[in-house]
Amino acid sequence: MPLFEYTGLNAAGKKVSGVAEGPGRKAVVQQLRSQGIFPTDLREESATPAKRAVSGLVSLRNKVPVVELAAATRQLATLLGAGLPLDEALGSVGSQLENAALSRALGRVREEVVQGEAFNVALSRHERIFPALYVNMVQVGENSGTLDQVLERLADFLEEQSRMKSRIRSAMAYPLLMAIIGSGVLLFLFAFVVPKVTRMLEDLGQALPWPTLALITASDLLSAYWWVLALLLALGLLWLRHYRRTDAGRRRLDQLALKLPLIGRLNLLTSTARLTRTLGTLLSSGVPLLKALDISKNLLENRVLRQAIEDTTVAVREGESLAEPLKRSGVFPPMVSQMAAVGERSGQMEEMLTRVADAYEHQVDMTITGMLSLLEPLMIVVMGGAVGFIVMAILLPIFQASQGMG
């Protein structure tokens, strides 16, 4: 939203100035008056590069964790279910929150609701905190008179998404930590320990075995040309970042992400679970299918899967069933189109999609558990092999020298 520089008088008649944010001049004037400030001059700030950069940093800082948004949504649903008016419920929840960005957003939403704005419209002005899925479900709840029930369902959805992300992050934390520590140990050995030992071995004045020669060569290269390796790594990462920003590059990388051994399967299962969970939640809240597909599409980070949903949306708009274009896309697991077909025949589409989400979330857990059971011993074998090779390369010439002396 645009920023406005204002100058005005407060309730005590003193001159004040500052910056306010709002969708337009009229809304900003009303916002300032509600704070006891009567503006005498109001000018929209120009979007200079420096201000855009500051705005971007503020946006990053204002991001709200899903688990905190879910907790606030559940509190709001509970208060509304107890019969509290919406503006009072918003004020009560906002005043209890520790997250400053969410508290400010709810405060501004409450101000607009008090001024007669629809709840969903007020939420839509804070899209970085309240996504399209949230806004559309709230709109359905307002229109149907079941806002407290819709917010309860929305809180369940957000909590499940948060639990799923947390499980994946927790599962990957240990292998990632082991890889970082192991790589650090090997780099330390090659950079500081091995050069001193190899100089001693070279002083023995005998032919060295090939493992020792390989170790000396690798250590010399790392010591002398580490900056070349670092530069090549940085250039590679920069190229990959640039390539990912192109449409063709992003699509090829997303295709690769679905075809990688083990990781590709996990990516597909995670995205499918997120898609079906979102679709089921939206449909059960009364959001039309086409709108639900459009919202769910934006939650998919993989371009290949997103394109499949876009094609499905076009086909459904032209009169096809949901199951047929999903099956024709060939990217989603067969169960998705099969259960969608069952849901269409039985009139229980949202229930079938929720069951699919439950099944694939369970498979995600099973896949992660299976990957960890393979990854942990594999990392131990790789690290043990690397350390064993270094030890062997150091000890072999010592054994040869002792045998020669014998």
pLDDT at residue number 1: 55
pLDDT at residue number 63: 67
Our CA dihedral for 379, 384, 385, 391, rounded to 10 degrees, sits at 160
How far apart CA 293 and CA 322 sit, in angstroms, is 10
pLDDT at residue number 31: 76
Cβ atoms of 35 and 49 closer than 8 Å: no
Domains 66-156 and 157-406 share a fold: yes
For domain 157-406, the CATH superfamily is Type II secretion system (T2SS), domain F (1.20.81.30)
Angle between helical axes of 349-405 and 263-284 (0-180°, round to 10): 160
**Furthest C-alpha separation in the chain:** 102
377 CB contacts (<8 Å, ≥6 apart)?
none
Domain chopping of the chain, boundaries? 3-61, 66-156, 157-406
Q: What angle do CA 134, 136, 140 make, to 5 degrees?
A: 115
Q: What is the pLDDT along the chain (406 residues), one digit of tens a residue?
A: 566 766 777 776 666 666 677 767 777 777 777 777 777 676 665 444 334 333 333 333 446 888 899 999 999 999 999 888 999 999 889 888 888 888 888 988 998 888 888 898 899 888 888 888 888 888 888 887 888 888 998 888 888 888 888 877 877 787 788 888 888 888 787 777 777 777 777 676 667 788 888 888 887 787 778 788 889 999 999 999 998 888 888 889 999 988 888 788 888 998 898 889 888 888 888 888 998 898 888 778 888 998 999 999 999 999 899 999 999 988 999 999 999 999 999 989 989 998 999 999 888 888 888 877 887 788 888 888 888 888 888 888 878 777 765 5
How far apart CA 28 and CA 75 sit, in angstroms, is 29
How far apart CA 130 and CA 111 sit, in angstroms, is 16
Looking at beta carbons, which pairs linking 137-145 to residues 24 or more positions away fall under 8 Å?
137/281, 137/282, 137/285, 137/287, 140/285, 140/286, 140/287, 141/285, 142/118, 143/286, 144/286
* Unique residue bearing structure tokens 């927790």: 170
How far apart CA 222 and CA 189 sit, in angstroms, is 11
Q: What angle do CA 316, 319, 321 make, to 5 degrees?
A: 60
Cβ atoms of 208 and 395 closer than 8 Å: no
The token pair at 349 is 């589409």
CA distances from 142 to 90, 119, 280 (A): 15, 8, 19
CA distances from 238 to 26, 56, 187, 231, 362 (A): 45, 22, 23, 10, 37
The token pair at 226 is 């580490």
Residue 385, phi then psi, degrees to nearest 5: -65, -40
Q: Is 49 helix (H, G, I), strand (E, B) or coil?
A: helix
Per-position b or e across 86-125, b if 16+ CB within 10 A of its CB? bbebbbebbeebebebbbbbbebbbbbbeeebebbbbbbb
Q: Is 23 helix (H, G, I), strand (E, B) or coil?
A: coil
Cβ atoms of 79 and 94 closer than 8 Å: no
pLDDT at residue number 366: 86
SS (H, E, C) 24-42: CHHHHHHHHHHCCCEEEEE
| DSSP assignment string, 176-241 | HHHHHHHHHHHHHIIIIIHHHHHHHHHTT-SPPPHHHHHHHHHHHHHHHHHHHHHHHHHHHHHHHH
pLDDT at residue number 56: 37
* Unique residue bearing structure tokens 């929305």: 154
Q: Which CATH number describes the domain made up of 66-156? A: 1.20.81.30
